[in-house]
Amino acid sequence: MNATIDKMHAVLAAQRAAFAQHPWPSAAERKGKLKALKRAIRAWQGRVIEAVNADFGNRSTTETRLLELLGPTLAASHAMHKLKRWMRPHRRTTELLFVTNSAWVEYQPKGVVGIIVPWNMPGYLSLGPLVAALAAGNRAMIKMSELSPRTTEVLAQMLATIYPEDEVAVFGGEVEEARAFSALPFDHLIFTGSPEVGRHVMRAAAEHLVPVTLELGGKSPAIIGPEADLADAARRIAHGKAFSAGQVCVAPDYALVPRAKAAEFADAVAAEFGRMYPAVQGNPDYTSIISAHHAERIRKLVADAEAKGAETRVVGEHGPGRQLPLVIVLGVHDEMDLAREEIFGPVLALVAYDTLEEAITYVTERPRPLALYTFGLDQPALEQVRRRTHSGGMAMNDWGWHAFQHDLPFGGIGNSGMGSYHGEEGFRALSHPRAVFRRHRFFPTQLLYPPYGSWLQRITLKLFLGEIRDGGGSAR
Ligand code: NAD
């Protein structure tokens, strides 16, 4: 017997029952719930900061405020602002044949939404999907990661002050509980995590035909153009690699750099990182790697690359803990693990290219990433990249900020996921677009009924399809 799993089943039953009692909350009610969330985030920020910090070992307070607190606050504000418009039914045209009748789509709350959260942004990736779920009129059950237990506790307490358990519930626990959670018959499941676990989750959800949104990871490239301002690109890439120590799903994973400029670019990244983080060890601004296991995984990626001939530049001091210096890796080739695995840490792989064609091919031959960045590409080159590559989202001349625009959808493609949330797309994904047709009183649909062959039926079908000229069929 597992008490957490039993509780999940009980809460799902309670949420379903509560939903059946109140299946279509008004815009005002939904706004009220989002407003309460924003207030709670403000009131609880100190406790969230402390908890995230304790889970990571060290998480910069500013990064926690930006990611875990500002992110969902902006998402909630955006939804509150747009909600009425999103909820409006959409009038559609009928077929000409059915003119005088009416057709529309109404966006119906689905019911209970399951949300599975990774450890790297435990606030944003639980509360962000929650905003979408509540905006769409649903209830939600949230399963947090086993690697962020203190944040789980604080968020559970915080949400319990504003929502009853049959509306929003938070669960902790280990992978066993996560597995059980993903097998529950939700009305929709949003999973954020690795592509590998995403496959398990989709399989589990298939059992009950639960629709899924999969927000996965992958290797997001940054293409540095031949004419790019190297210092500017280096500053932004260094920030992308160092922000939360690279443990961000949309962090630039590797950079494609013109061959002649690779060394200069590496110097520039090192200089920019050094300016932002004069020290690594003990620097409160520099976030630790979440666990010893993850830190070891990153060290191994570097050691593997070195053993296979890479040249590495270490920026910052090594230490005994989990604040890892930035490592810039030059001479990357496909045999190296870091050319294939998502890095998810402060290691920048530099891949040299000679022509834009080569850079584009490098991207398109690999699994489709969550994000793609370009720096200093001219218009024709940009056009090529935009038309020929795929990625969940993209940003030009910077990294990551597209994910912070809550009017844009956020989601992956292929290996980086399916479906999206944030903004209107999030609302639509968690609502059922119910197709409604209303026959008006004097519309004679019975003229299309059998017995077939009346002149009206024949004329109508002839009008749309012409005569039957190839033999089959009869006048009826
Ligand atoms: P993970 O896939 O290991 O775990 C994610 C969640 O799934 C955790 O809550 C975990 O408990 C749960 N889980 C583990 N095994 C499970 C199973 N068999 N069935 C059901 N649930 C299971 O990912 P992580 O290490 O927590 O996070 C890092 C990954 O998440 C990276 O790949 C990163 O790119 C990705 N990510 C994606 C986004 C995005 O929005 N697309 C955002 C953040 C992180």
- Residue nearest (by alpha carbon) to ligand 1 atom 28: 193
Alpha-helical runs (H) found in 88-229: 124-135, 149-162, 175-182, 195-206
180 and 311 belong to one structural domain = no
Instruction: Tell how far the Cα of 195 is from the centroid of ligand 1, in angstroms.
Output: 8
Cβ(145) to ligand 1 under 6 A?
Answer: yes
pLDDT digits (tens, 9 = 90+) for 169-222: 999 999 999 999 999 999 999 999 999 999 999 999 999 999 999 999 999 999
Q: How far is the CA of 341 from the centre of ligand 1 (A)?
A: 15
Residue among 215, 272, 342, 425 flagged as catalytic: 215
Could you tell me if 99 and 183 lie in one domain? yes
Q: Is residue 248 in some structural domain? A: yes
Strand boundaries in 240-346, DSSP class E = 254-258, 311-315, 326-330
With a CB cutoff of 8 Å and minimum separation 6, the contacts of 262 are: 330, 350, 352
In-domain check, residue 440 = no
| 234 and 337 belong to one structural domain | yes
From ligand 1's centre to the CA of 129, what distance in Å? 14
For residue 438, being part of any structural domain is answered with no
Place of tokens 């998810």: 344
Q: End-to-end alpha-carbon separation of the chain, Å?
A: 65
Residue 19 confidence (pLDDT): 98
Structural domain includes residue 457: no
Does 176 contact ligand 1 (Cβ within 6 A)?
A: no
What is the 8-class DSSP label of residue 410? B
Q: Whose CA is closest to atom 6 on ligand 1?
A: 118
CATH code assigned at 328: 3.40.309.10
Answer yes or no: is 463 within a domain. Answer: no
Query: Catalytic residue at 63?
Result: no
Q: How far apart (Å, rounded) are the C-alpha atoms in residues 91 and 88?
A: 9
Same domain, 37 and 143: yes
pLDDT tens for the chain, 476 residues: list them: 799 999 999 999 999 999 999 999 999 999 999 999 999 999 999 999 999 999 999 999 999 999 999 999 999 999 999 999 999 999 999 998 888 899 999 999 999 999 999 999 999 999 999 999 999 999 999 999 999 999 999 999 999 999 999 999 999 999 999 999 999 999 999 999 999 999 999 999 999 999 999 999 999 999 999 999 999 999 999 999 999 999 999 999 999 999 999 999 999 999 999 999 999 999 999 999 999 999 999 999 999 999 999 999 999 999 999 999 999 999 999 999 999 999 999 999 999 999 999 999 999 999 999 999 999 999 999 999 999 999 999 999 999 999 999 999 999 999 999 999 999 999 999 999 999 999 987 777 778 899 999 998 999 899 999 999 888 766 56
With a 6 Å cutoff on the Cβ, whether 118 touches ligand 1 is yes
| Residue count (the chain) | 476
Burial 23-62 (b: 16+ CB within 10 A, else e): eebebeebbebbebbbebbeebbebbbbbbbebbbbbbbe
DSSP alpha helix (H) spans, 324-377: 356-364
Q: Which two tokens stand for residue 85?
A: 């418009």
429 and 384 inside one domain: no
So what's the pLDDT on residue 331? 95
Same domain, 226 and 367: yes
Decide: 178 in ligand 1 pocket, CB within 6 A.
Answer: yes
Q: Classify burial at 321, counting beta carbons within 10 Å of its beta carbon; exposed 0-12, middle 13-18, buried 19 or more.
A: middle
User: Are residues 204 and 63 located together in one domain of the fold?
Assistant: yes
Radius of gyration of the chain (CA): 26
Do 180 and 102 lie in a common domain? yes
Whether residue 280 sits in one domain with residue 397: yes
Atom of ligand 1 at shortest range from CA of 249 = 34
- Kind of pairing, strands 311-315 and 431-438? unpaired
The DSSP element (H or E) to which 90 belongs, if any, is: strand 90-92
Give alpha helix (H) positions in 183-291.
195-206, 230-242, 262-276
201 and 70 co-located in one domain: yes
Domain containing 82: what range? 3-216+421-433
* Number of domains forming the structure of the chain: 2
- 165 part of the active site: no
CATH number for the domain including 100? 3.40.605.10
Residue nearest to atom 9 of ligand 1 (CA): 145
Does 353 contact ligand 1 (Cβ within 6 A)? Answer: no
Find out whether 262 and 350 touch, Cβ atoms under 8 Å: yes
Q: Does residue 443 form part of some domain?
A: no
Are residues 177 and 227 located together in one domain of the fold? Answer: no
> Among the atoms of ligand 1, which is closest to the Cα of residue 144?
9
Task: Give the pLDDT of residue 2.
Answer: 93
Quote the tokens at residue 25.
Answer: 């909350």
Q: Say yes or no: 306 and 390 in one domain.
A: yes
Q: 232 in a domain, yes or no?
A: yes
Query: Whole-prediction pTM value?
Result: 0.96
* Beta carbon of 148 within 6 Å of any ligand 1 atom: no
Helical (H) or strand (E) element with 46: helix 45-56
Give the mutation target among 249, 342, 370, 422 for probing the ligand 1 site: most ligand atoms within 8 A of CB. 249
Other Cβ atoms within 10 Å of 462 Cβ, number: 11
Give the Cβ contact number of residue 422 at 10 Å: 27
Q: Please tell me which residue in 249, 272, 342, 425 is annotated as part of the active site.
A: 249
Q: Residue 125: CB within 6 Å of ligand 1?
A: yes
CA distances from residue 89 to 79, 132, 322 in whole angstroms, order as listed? 17, 18, 52
Distance 90 CA to ligand 1 centre (A): 36
At 473 the pLDDT is 65
Question: 415 lies in a domain?
Answer: no
